[in-house]
C-alpha cells in the first residue's frame, strides 16, 4: 500500500485540529467528532492544549483512503512552538495548509508557506470556515493571491458562503471553463501547455490532471479547496485531492534501515519514547541499531515498537519504510538523530529562539529537581537550550515568546510538582568576529599536543567553517575530530559569553609527542578552547542583538500613533505605503521589543491592525556590550580554566 505522511499546518485558530478530527471521522476511524472547544480531539491530548484550545506538541493520527495509508501530523499554529513544526517538516511527503476564509492569510501562514516552498513540499491549500459569517470564496482566493502566492489552481467554488449551508462545488473536468482555468495556471510552468494555450488547442482532461499532479508534486503549484471542518463541507473533495495530487510512493522496504527521529516523549514511568519515520528498510524488536547524532555514534537495542494505523496505535514486531513508529529502548536517542545512514543533513527553516530567561524554583531546595525536569523537557524541545551559569539566577532557557514561558511553567507544575518563576526576559545576543587572530600552544603542561589556530570573520551565521593548513598525516584522525568538536562547543561562549556566529577557522599547526608518551583525544579537546580564546582576543568580537523585520497594516488614521511607538522603540522605518484604505508600515526593530508592539497594536489601531514579523539578522549593540554569565570552565582565564578542568577530572 502507498503511504503518505501528511502535515496539517496553519496559523493558530485557522482550524487545523478540527480538520484533522473531521478527516478521521470521514474515514471512519472515529465514531464521534471531538471538538477543540470541548477538549476531546484525537490529537490535542495534553491537558494544557485542551484548556487553552491550541496545539502545543505535534501529534500523529492515521487513516486510509482510496488505497493510500495516510499518516496525519497535526502541528502547532502558534509561533512560540514553531520548533515543533520544523521537526515535522523533515518527515513529510506532502502538506495541507489551512487558511481561514474569514481571517484570511495571517502572519504564521506566510512563514509556513515560505518554508514549504523552500523545501518543495507538495502542498494543497484548504480554505476553511466557509460557513462562517463574512466568508466569501472569491475574496479568500484574492487574499491568497495577494498575500501568499499566485501559483494557485482553485479546484471549485463555494455556494452560499457565510451561511450554515455553505458547500463546495468541485470543478468538473468535462467543463470547458474549468479546464481552461486549470490550463492557464499550469501553462506558466509548462512549455507544451503554454503553446497549447497560446494556440487555443484543446488539452484532454487526463493530460491536465496528470500535469497538475506533477506540478503539485514538484512544489510548483498549489491546488485550492474550500470547505468547513465543522460542517464537513468540501472534506470528501479534499481527500480526493490529497490522494490524487500529493505523491505517496511505495517506500523501499529492502536495503539497510534508515530512520529519522522527529519527536521524543516520556511515558508515565519516565521511559523515553522516540517517534520516528522509517525512510527505508525495516526496524525490528531486539535490533541493535547505530544512532548517528551529534556525539559519537552509539548503539541501542529496540525493546518495543508501536506503529500508527487506522486511527490507533498498535504494537508490532517491525516498523517498515513509510511507517511512523514509536520506539522504546533507545535511551540515548535525541530529536534530530538518525538511525542508520543519513541521506542529507537537515537545514534550519525558521529562526532560532531569540529570547532567554532565567528560571528559579520557589523553593530553593527544588533546584536539583528543576534541573532534572528541564533536562527532560529539553529532550522534547532541544531549542530550549538549557544552560547552567553562576549565581542564583544561573539556570536559563531559550524561548520564542511569552506563551511558551507559560506552557513551561504549567508543565513543571502539573507534571513535576515544581513551582517556579521566571526572571526578566532578555535577548539572546551573539558575537561576530571583527579581524584576524593567530594563536598557538606548543605542548603546554598538562596537554600532550601542539595546536595552532587562525580565526577570522566568515559568511556563515551557524556552525564554524573549518579548513586545514596542515597535512592530514600530521596527526591521527581522532585529533582533528577532537579539535572540531571542541571548537563547536567553545564557539558557544565568546569573549563576552555569547555564541560566536560568523567564524572561519584554520588549523595552522598540529603535532603530538612521540618519544615517551602519546597524546589522546582529550589533550586536543581540552587544549583547543585555550588556543581559540587567544585567537579570539587578537581578532576581537562585537556583540550584536537579534532584529526582526516587521510589516504592519493599519487604518490610515492610526499611522501617526504606530509610528510614534516604533520610533520610541528605536525601529528603523521605511516610508509608509498606501494599500487601498489601509496603510502599510515596514522596518526593522530589536526582537526584544516585538512583544511590546504586539500588545499595543490593538489599542493603537482600534483592533484593525495586523503585524507580521520575520527574523532579519543581527545588528551591533549600541553602548556597552552586554556580558553573559559563563557556563563551565572559562578558557579566557587560563588559571581558572586549568583549575576547573582539574577539579572536573577529580570529580
In whole angstroms, how far apart are CA 639 and each of 65, 327, 644?
67, 46, 9
- 517 or 184: which leads in pLDDT: 184
What does the CA dihedral 44, 6, 346, 265 come to, rounded to 10 degrees?
Answer: 30
Segment 553-577, tens digit of pLDDT: 899 999 999 999 999 999 999 999 9
Using the predicted structure, report yes or no on whether residue 584 has a pLDDT greater than 90.
yes
d(CA 329, CA 271): 8
Does residue 423 sit in helix, strand or coil?
strand
Please enumerate in sequence order all residues whose Cβ is within 8 A of that of 105, keeping only pairs 6 or more positions apart, or say none. Answer: 99, 143, 144, 146, 147, 148
All domains of the chain in start order, with CATH: 2-245 (3.40.50.300), 258-340 (2.40.30.10), 355-428 (3.30.70.870), 431-539+630-650 (3.30.230.10), 543-620 (3.30.70.240)
Name the nearest CA neighbour of 55 among 69, 39, 34, 33. Answer: 39
- Other Cβ atoms less than 10 A from the Cβ of 2: the count is 17
Which residues on neighbouring strands pair with residue 123, listed in sequence order? 95
d(CA 294, CA 515): 34
Segment 131-182, tens digit of pLDDT: 999 999 999 999 999 889 999 999 999 999 999 999 999 999 999 899 999 9
Q: What nine digits make up the cell of 6? A: 501528511
Q: How confident is the model at residue 348 (pLDDT cuts 50, 70, 90)?
A: low
Q: What integer pLDDT is reported at residue 632 of this predicted model?
A: 84
Using the predicted structure, report yes or no on whether residue 521 has a pLDDT greater than 80.
yes
The pLDDT of 317-340, averaged and rounded, is 87
Phi-psi region of 39 (alpha: psi -120 to 50; beta: other; left: phi over 0): left
DSSP state of 498: S
- 233 or 12: which leads in pLDDT: 233
d(CA 521, CA 528): 11
Q: What is the pTM of this model?
A: 0.79
d(CA 310, CA 307): 10
Measured in residues, the chain has a length of 651
- 282 or 393: which leads in pLDDT: 282
Segment 42-100, tens digit of pLDDT: 554 455 545 555 566 678 888 888 888 899 888 876 777 777 788 888 888 999 999 99
Does residue 443 sit in helix, strand or coil?
coil
d(CA 110, CA 53): 22
**Segment of 80-89, 164-173, 445-454, 604-613 carrying the highest mean pLDDT:** 164-173
Q: What integer pLDDT is reported at residue 516 of this predicted model?
A: 43
Q: What integer pLDDT is reported at residue 296 of this predicted model?
A: 46
Q: How confident is the model at residue 30 (pLDDT cuts 50, 70, 90)?
A: confident
What is the chain's mean pLDDT, rounded? 86
d(CA 349, CA 203): 38
d(CA 481, CA 476): 9
Q: What nine digits make up the cell of 414? A: 502539573
Query: Whose grid coordinates read 526582526?
Result: 548
Q: What integer pLDDT is reported at residue 44 of this predicted model?
A: 47
Q: What nine digits make up the cell of 223? A: 491546488
Amino acid at each position: 500500500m502507498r503511504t503518505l505522511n501528511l502535515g496539517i499546518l496553519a496559523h493558530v485558530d485557522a482550524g487545523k485540529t478540527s480538520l484533522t478530527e473531521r478527516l478521521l471521522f470521514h474515514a471512519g476511524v472515529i465514531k464521534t467528532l471531538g471538538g477543540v472547544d470541548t477538549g476531546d480531539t484525537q490529537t490535542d491530548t495534553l491537558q494544557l492544549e485542551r484548556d487553552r484550545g491550541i496545539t502545543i506538541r505535534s501529534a500523529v493520527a492515521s487513516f486510509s483512503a482510496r488505497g493510500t495509508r495516510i499518516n496525519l501530523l497535526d502541528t502547532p499554529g502558534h509561533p512560540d512552538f514553531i520548533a515543533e513544526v520544523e521537526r515535522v517538516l523533515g518527515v513529510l511527503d506532502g502538506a495541507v495548509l489551512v487558511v481561514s476564509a474569514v481571517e484570511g492569510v495571517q502572519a504564521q501562514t506566510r512563514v509556513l508557506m515560505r518554508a514549504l516552498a523552500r523545501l518543495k513540499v507538495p502542498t494543497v491549500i484548504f480554505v476553511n470556515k466557509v460557513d462562517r459569517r463574512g466568508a466569501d470564496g472569491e475574496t479568500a482566493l484574492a487574499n491568497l493571491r495577494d498575500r501568499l502566492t499566485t501559483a494557485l489552481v482553485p479546484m471549485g467554488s463555494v455556494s452560499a458562503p457565510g451561511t450554515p449551508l455553505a458547500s463546495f462545488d468541485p470543478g468538473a473536468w468535462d467543463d470547458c471553463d474549468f479546464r481552461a482555468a486549470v490550463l492557464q495556471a499550469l501553462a506558466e510552468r509548462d512549455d507544451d501547455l503554454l503553446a497549447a494555450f497560446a494556440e487555443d488547442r484543446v488539452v484532454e482532461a487526463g493530460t491536465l490532471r496528470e500535469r497538475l499532479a506533477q506540478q503539485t508534486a514538484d512544489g510548483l503549484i498549489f491546488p485550492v479547496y474550500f470547505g468547513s471542518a465543522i460542517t464537513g463541507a468540501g472534506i470528501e473533495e479534499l481527500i480526493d485531492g490529497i490522494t490524487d495530487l500529493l505523491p505517496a510512493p511505495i517506500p523501499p522496504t529492502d536495503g539497510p534501515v534508515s530512520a529519522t527521529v522527529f519527536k521524543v516523549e516520556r511515558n508515565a514511568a519516565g521511559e523515553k519514547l522516540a517517534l520516528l519515520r522509517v525512510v527505508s528498510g525495516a526496524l525490528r524488536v531486539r535490533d541493535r541499531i547505530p544512532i548517528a547524532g551529534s556525539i559519537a555514534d552509539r548503539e541501542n537495542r529496540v525493546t518495543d515498537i508501536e506503529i500508527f494505523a487506522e486511527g490507533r496505535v498498535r504494537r508490532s514486531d517491525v516498523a517498515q519504510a513509510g511507517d511512523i513508529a514509536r520506539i522504546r529502548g533507545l535511551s540515548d536517542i535525541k530529536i534530530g538523530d538518525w538511525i542508520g545512514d543519513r541521506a542529507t543533513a537537515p537545514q534550519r527553516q525558521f529562526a532560532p529562539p531569540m529570547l532567554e530567561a532565567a528560571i528559579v524554583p520557589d523553593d530553593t531546595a527544588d533546584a536539583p529537581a528543576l534541573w532534572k525536569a528541564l533536562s527532560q523537557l529539553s529532550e522534547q524541545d532541544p531549542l530550549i537550550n538549557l544552560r547552567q551559569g553562576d549565581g542564583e539566577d544561573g539556570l536559563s532557557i531559550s524561548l520564542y515568546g511569552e506563551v511558551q514561558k507559560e506552557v513551561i511553567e504549567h508543565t513543571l507544575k502539573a507534571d513535576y510538582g515544581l513551582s517556579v518563576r521566571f526572571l526578566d526576559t532578555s535577548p539572546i545576543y551573539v558575537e561576530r568576529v571583527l579581524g584576524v587572530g593567530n594563536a598557538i600552544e606548543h605542548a603546554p603542561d598538562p596537554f600532550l599536543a601542539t595546536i595552532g589556530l587562525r580565526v577570522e570573520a566568515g559568511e556563515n551565521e551557524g556552525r564554524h567553517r573549518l579548513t586545514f593548513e596542515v597535512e592530514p598525516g600530521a596527526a591521527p584522525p581522532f585529533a582533528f575530530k577532537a579539535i572540531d568538536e571542541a571548537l563547536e562547543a567553545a564557539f558557544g561562549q565568546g569573549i563576552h559569553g555569547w555564541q560566536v556566529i560568523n567564524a572561519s577557522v584554520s588549523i595552522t599547526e598540529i603535532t603530538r609527542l612521540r618519544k615517551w608518551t602519546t597524546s589522546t583525544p582529550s589533550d586536543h579537546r581540552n587544549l583547543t578552547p585555550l588556543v581559540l580564546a587567544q585567537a579570539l582576543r587578537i581578532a576581537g568580537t562585537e556583540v550584536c542583538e537579534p532584529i526582526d523585520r516587521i510589516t504592519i497594516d493599519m487604518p490610515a488614521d492610526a499611522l501617526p500613533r504606530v509610528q510614534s511607538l516604533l520610533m520610541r522603540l528605536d525601529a528603523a522605518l521605511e516610508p509608509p505605503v498606501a494599500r487601498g484604505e489601509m496603510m502599510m508600515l515596514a522596518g526593522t526593530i530589536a526582537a526584544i521589543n516585538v512583544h511590546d508592539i504586539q500588545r499595543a497594536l490593538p489599542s493603537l489601531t482600534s483592533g484593525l491592525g495586523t503585524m507580521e514579523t520575520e527574523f532579519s539578522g543581527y545588528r551591533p549593540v549600541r553602548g556597552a556590550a552586554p556580558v553573559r554569565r559563563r557556563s563551565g570552565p572559562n578558557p579566557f582565564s587560563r588559571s581558572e580554566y586549568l583549575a576547573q578542568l582539574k577539579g572536573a577530572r577529580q570529580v
